[in-house]
Structure 1
């Protein structure tokens, strides 16, 4: 189980514990009413075990929380199915993974993306993207189709220029310095960011490294309209669809946007990073 999945299961378990406590029941009392073994109650509340739909109905009914049953069942199913294991989804290669996301980008009207380590795929140059793809293929021992997957990603960038789409990108300043391809290719990538900033549908902000704690998050995430948040880790991907959770990500994004710099100030930070790579390139 990935760390992200465990946290989601623990959050669901906490919700069930609160329902039990609100009903004034101990774990053993709930077990007696529902017919669960008392250890099952503890495992569920600590995120160590799932519940069937029937189990959730029994739990909620015993606690006088019948009205919450549909939402609880939906949340449990989300926890069980929202995690996309990279090995399973990429066994046919990275190109298939790239192809599978095409329709999502096409139908999204407002895309908000935060990256804290690398440049987002929609803004990558071919060389930068190829380096990312090659690294993923090597890390996960995938079929060698990085070049084909890279072309799919490059083709997808047309959404920046076509259709009724709007984009807000927030990059932590570190993303400007992460040496993905060579120093010379990083210069090309940073020039690409400057060019993208002039697109009418794109807003690009840089979060200064000196910004406060509220201006940063522990992971990158992408918000597709107000219906989906996508978070990807080394081993799994998480699709978040619950309205309450999406609202938290939107609120975090807005805090980071308030701390970010745009326009001339963003260009200055990009130029500063570019100068560092020019120096590296000159001495290599």
Structure 2
């Protein structure tokens, strides 16, 4: 629904609530006066339902201000005009509206949004968008220009990769579960959402380098970028299998930051605060590299040349807590091997990493690390 239309409907609902509270009535009391269900009062006040002219007349009389009916009717006429405008926009299909969205995004630096039912359009895969727009076209009996509309929606996503733009979108968790598309399409969509987080992490990581453009250029060539440790974080090197075991308790305690790995050599690198040396210097299992030491980093979006992220940078600057890392590697910090089983052998770990990389590059039918039966595994 049109943003202007919904904004106007919410504003009308707020005005109705204002009149009710001025009369000293709660929702149930007003519903009793009008002979309505209390839920109707809530829907009207929260902009979830369109009122009729008769509803507004009755409301004005029930709150003791019948003279407000003229004002409320005027608001309703404006609302209906916006709704007709939305219908006219869709009369030629969904492509014109999607192209208008491209223009709006190009002139906007900060975009805020809320979505309760589906993945927002800016983050949809082509297949997911195709399913959603096909349903909209069928529901509204508008022309079927689905492919053109999908192409326009995907072009709008170019803004996600442009520096200087920011997107803050709140999405209800239920949108992750709604089956508006086939199961395999939803699986790919959830993978895409994880990768959108990786884009934000890539921007943060590149700007930890004094030459971020060179970092982006290396990643564009599918090469490793040399990012020196320094003012933003230090790199702590450790055994890979012990690192994997340490990640679980640190994650549960919300102390986990980015972790880079090279499965072939069974080494891992933890990103920690620059002053972490004092917490970790006495642990022989850990090597804290000096300031300026170059860490070879793949893009957070995918692995490169055998290097991959076990825990990607999330773009917030969060690092592993050094005290927690020291406890996890220190005496008594290692979890019993039987907890992890054979799945965490060196061979098993390399197999899991290879499966993830194949899924990310499109070589697997479904993302190997996503399970729709456990949607809470997906970080939102």
Normalised by the length of structure 2, the TM-score is 0.38
| Structure with a larger share of its residues in helix | 1
Higher relative contact order, structure no. (Cα contacts within 8 Å, ≥ 6 residues apart)? 1
**Structure of greater Rg:** 2
